[in-house]
Chain A
């Protein structure tokens, strides 16, 4: 007999009880109003007899990997990250490489694979490895409760908490986690609300609001954009995205991601290296100082050069930092400040 594990539903934050037994979830801008027994669009929060509960505090994996893989290029270079991820996402991206984890509840073929988190064990393992603690692979903002608990336990050990997120949070959601998040990499997947909605099922505006809000609260923010041929790789789109990021802060690192045909987007071709090269130029033309391509352009796509004197400051291999030449967070040659968490 095959035993199929079931989600463990734990009390959730940011639920407002309504007079008729319904509950409004105020974690993400979908703001689902749930009748008793009903689950939200993310499928990992539900109304359990008038009480909002979450299944997102049950990681399916706890993997030790490189901080450069999230990707973070301006935060603790070379550090390992113990990354935990429970099933679930507030988006339904048809190209998700992690759909077997992220699309639980939205796609009937995706099984439940999480089990109740043991925050003390996660923190102890991270402390042994002197690793940061990351929530990634699926949507970490659905696991705010676990994030807060991990942060509480990690604080005495001085272990930073990181997210790789879609940034789709309400202001209340962002404010809840901002005090405990050290850094977040947020996807900006399209140039307009309409294109973002087609790709993810959600508008873009709240994502940019989260970028601004977390930065204002002192969280280190890097941005990732996938270049999907015919959908988000047109020059006009990239120019629009780069322009919006530059308006926020020209020194915010921008990672250009190669699209891989997967899940329900199998007809498209992978992103051509030339498109990534052109996108990098567009980012620089928009004034962005740090634009990165992880693999397709080789080391020159990954390394950090000083925006003041153009000397190489950080050399990276694939998913590792090879050398860092910074003096107190600044270029040792021209003293230009290099923003990040060093």
Chain B
């Protein structure tokens, strides 16, 4: 089963000014970094479930997520 890990913080890739331009929430933004350790994908989405599905499809290690509240 795909593993999800709770982390203290992750950077935002979507700003609040963009919300009004995407009323249906169909915005996903990705930043892909490669180094000697491998590939790290940072994602931000107005619909987190779609981002998570995408990351699961891509495979690899666990998905880190922040908690709300």
Contacts and interface: CB of A to CB of B under 8 A. Distances in A.
B17 A260 contact: no
Interface string A317-341: 0100000000000000000000000
Contacts of B19: 258, 270, 272-273, 296
Interface in B49-67: 49, 65, 67
Range for the number of chain A residues in contact with chain B: 20 to 34
Interface in A254-281: 258, 260-263, 266, 269-270, 272-274
A70 interface: yes
A269 B49 CA distance: 13
A228 B7 CA distance: 26
A137 B67 contact: yes
Contact of A97 (B8, B16, B23, B48): B48
A130 to B, nearest CB: 17
Contact of A295 (B8, B9, B16, B25): B16
Contacts of A97: 48, 67-68
A93 to B, nearest CB: 11
A69 interface: yes
Interface string B1-30: 000101111001000110110011100000
Contact of B69 (A64, A137, A261, A274): A137
A60 B8 contact: no
Contacts of A60: 6
Interface of B: 4, 6-9, 12, 16-17, 19-20, 23-25, 46-49, 65, 67-69
16 contacts: A63-B67, A65-B8, A85-B67, A97-B48, A97-B68, A98-B67, A100-B65, A136-B67, A263-B49, A269-B24, A270-B23, A270-B47, A272-B20, A273-B16, A296-B19, A297-B16
